[in-house]
Homo-oligomer: A and B are copies of this chain.
Amino acid sequence: MEIKVIRKILEAGSKVAETNRKILKEKGIISFNFIGAPGSGKTSLLLRIIEALSDKYKIGVIEGDLATTKDAELIHETGVPVVQINTDGGCHLDANLVGKALEELPLDRIDVLIIENVGNLVCPTAFDLGEDYKVGVLSVPEGDDKPEKYPVIVKVSKAIVLNKIDMLPYFRFDKEKFYQPIKRISPNTPVFEVSCETKEGISSFVNWMISKINQKGGEGK
């Protein structure tokens, strides 16, 4: 019975997701949905991406948060158009919320849309927002066992970012253990080891994003 209810909500969301997808396609916008636990470094990664991409592409951001506008304020300072979605305690973004956020963004002046989901490694994986690519953001301090313990994020992500690699010397982190379940579940999913602090590895991940943008025919506006 409970499962039925959840399915109903997911189905309703799925129709709105298709509408979002259609709008984004019509506007020639490539979209990424960043999913990760609280503190995995999603906002820091966004700031690095904006730094690296904004001379080539016009970026727009949707920030998902439970309560504050802190992250959106950081993005706003870069000059990039940003809309904050406050879920008021809700554990994930859904297609309806994103649809409303799209209405607030200057879509004609955006090539690349980045959605930062609510800090949560579980629930956001289940929801189609209409985005092109889900990206899983993990980090060294969370531990090398996360891909095994949270296989769904591995399954749904088109790329995985392992953030805070500058912290590797201070944590017991077995890379072999980290990579093994990813290779099993999603052998073709690229993993990018980065540090938003030192910028190590950022350009490789940004190049992956660019390849996806070009693949979809995004040529810049």
Q: Is A121 an interface residue (CB 8 A)?
A: yes
Min distance, Cβ A65 to any Cβ of chain B, angstroms = 6
CB contact under 8 A between A123 and B121, given known A37-B39, A141-B39, A145-B70: no
Selected interface stretch from A51-59, A146-154, A198-206, A208-216 = A146-154
Across the two chains, which residue of chain B brings its CB closest to A145? B70
One complex includes copies of this chain to the number of 2
Residues of B within 8 A of A120 (CB): 91, 120-123
Contact of A38 (CB < 8 Å), options: B67, B118, B142: B142
Residues of B within 8 A of A152 (CB): 66, 89
CB-based contact A151/B66 at 8 Å: yes
Partner of A66, one of B68, B122, B142: B122
A190 within 8 A of B: no
Q: Mark A116-155, 1 if CB is under 8 A from B, else 0.
A: 0011111100100000000000010111011011111000
A164 interface neighbour in B67, B141, B145, Cβ under 8 Å: B141
On chain B, the residues within 8 Å of A5 by CB distance are: 5, 9
Are the C-beta atoms of A70 and B149 separated by less than 8 Å? yes
Q: How large is the interface on A (under 10, 10 to 19, 20 to 34, 35 or more residues)?
A: 20 to 34
Q: Is there an interface contact between A89 and B122, defined as CB atoms closer than 8 Å?
A: yes
A38 adjacent to B150 (CB under 8 Å) = yes
**Looking at the complex, which one of B89, B122, B142 makes contact with A118 (CB distance below 8 Å)?**
B122
* Whole-angstrom CA separation of A92 from B118 in the bound complex: 16
Docked complex: A63-80 residues within 8 A CB-CB of B: 65-68, 70
Distance, CA A167 to CA B145, complexed state (A): 19
Some 18 contacts from A to B, beta carbons below 8 A apart, are A2-B9, A38-B149, A39-B143, A67-B148, A67-B149, A68-B148, A70-B145, A70-B149, A91-B122, A91-B123, A119-B122, A119-B150, A120-B121, A122-B123, A141-B164, A167-B167, A167-B170, A170-B170
